[in-house]
Amino acid sequence: MNSWAHSSLVAILVMTFPALAAAGGDFKLESVAFDDNKQIPVLYTCEGKKISPPLSFSDPPKGTKSLVLIISDPDAPDPKKPKLTWVHWVLYNIPPTAKGLAQNIKTADLPAGTLQGKNSWKKTGYGGPCPPIGRHRYFHRLFALDRLLPDLHTPTRAVLLKAIEGHLLGKAELVGTYQKKKKKK
């Protein structure tokens, strides 16, 4: 999905679910590793240890029954000519009582009931930023739902977005950026 399509999808979600536009006042997704619209540290990338960053959640909207986390890069492969959205992590049915995810969290340590979907490597789990060219943006989106989703059997991002239609109560977002270091000649 190119960045125009990505922006259009977000606009459609907000138009289809007006609660998204009004919700989320206090609903937050943050990281102690990086600030919004700032560089993601090398540790969490393919040039580092490829471990998941620490994330914290707070104040989901009233009535939230589950949370969905999707981390994606709409700038792939080249931010000047994006052609698709690269998915780095898909989690769903995160309990609304969860306060976040620890750095380098293992599957066994995910909050009880949390299920995973497939990333663009066709695997479950976190895949660190590894942009082939230029500075990419990595959207960490946390969706609050009014229901617990059924087991979707490791869904893709597209399948999960379809499953949450009509159930969104709010959205929190954290954007990180990353560009590979230039190799010395």
Is the residue at 184 inside a domain? no
Is the residue at 185 inside a domain? no
Separation of alpha carbons 134 and 166, rounded Å: 36
Q: Which two tokens stand for residue 182?
A: 């230039």
Separation of alpha carbons 107 and 51, rounded Å: 12
pLDDT in tens, 2-18: 444 444 454 445 444 44
Is the residue at 135 inside a domain? yes
State the average pLDDT over residues 119-144.
97
Is the residue at 183 inside a domain? no
Split into its structural domains, the chain has a count of 1
pLDDT in tens, 34-70: 999 999 999 999 999 999 999 999 999 999 999 999 9
Place 21 in a pLDDT band, splitting at 50, 70 and 90: very low
Separation of alpha carbons 67 and 30, rounded Å: 15
What is the reported pLDDT for 182? Answer: 74
Residue 10 carries which DSSP code?
H
Is the residue at 7 inside a domain? yes
What is the reported pLDDT for 185? Answer: 56
Give the CATH number for residue 156: 3.90.280.10
For residues 19 and 50, the answer to whether their CB atoms sit within 8 Å is: no
User: Closest Cα to residue 10, out of 179, 146, 175, 181?
Assistant: 175
Is the residue at 75 inside a domain? yes
Is the residue at 54 inside a domain? yes
What is the reported pLDDT for 184? Answer: 57
Going through the chain in order, the beta strands assigned E by DSSP cover 28-30, 38-39, 55-58, 66-76, 84-94, 100-101, 115-116, 136-145, 168-178
pLDDT in tens, 165-180: 999 999 999 999 999 9
- Full domain range(s) for residue 169: 3-178
Higher pLDDT, 26 or 8: 26
Higher pLDDT, 88 or 182: 88
Separation of alpha carbons 55 and 103, rounded Å: 7
Is the residue at 60 inside a domain? yes
